[in-house]
Amino acid sequence: MSLQIPPNCDLTLGIVCVDKSTPGRSSWSATVDVRFANPAGVLQGGFLAAFADSAMGAAAVTYAQRGGKRKIYAANAEMKISFLAPVEVGTALVCEAEVVSGSHRAAFVEASVVTRELKLVARASSTYLFKERGSLQEES
């Protein structure tokens, strides 16, 4: 199986990885599109969850890769998100994610989603499990 970078879900949502140069950390940006507004006219929580998941997943992968020497899949085992403020259409958002604790097999990651004015709108945490990537024949 080949990996598509960036994945279609990130392209559809319009979320962009800004930086993942530091192992265990990633920074992402997005601008809220009207397509993702709920009936009340503010951003639907599922968008914020997907945004945080992509950022935390990237942080987990860079942590597990140990400087690019290890090829892995990272699976989200569980995730919690708290929505702290409504987000209006057109708002520019930044998501910063960081591995808080980890091992060879798993990582616990946290993320904050803020506006460009640094207003905190969501906090998330997740546990990612790692699996070594091999050839398709090895995985069958």
Residue found under tokens 């906090």:
123
Return the CATH number of the domain spanning residue range 8-134.
Answer: 3.10.129.10
Summarised one tens digit per residue, pLDDT across range 61-85 is 999 987 677 888 899 999 999 999 9
pLDDT at 127: 98
Report the DSSP beta bridge partners of residue 131: 73
**Is 80 exceeded by the pLDDT of residue 32?**
yes
Q: Where along the chain do its domains lie?
A: 8-134
What is the H or E stretch that residue 9 is in? helix 8-13
Summarised one tens digit per residue, pLDDT across range 91-111 is 999 999 999 999 999 999 999
Q: Within a 13 Å sphere around the CA of 113, how many CA atoms are in the beta-carbon half?
A: 32
Q: Which of 85, 88, 93, 86 is nearest to 34 (CA)?
A: 88
Summarised one tens digit per residue, pLDDT across range 106-129 is 999 999 999 999 999 999 999 999
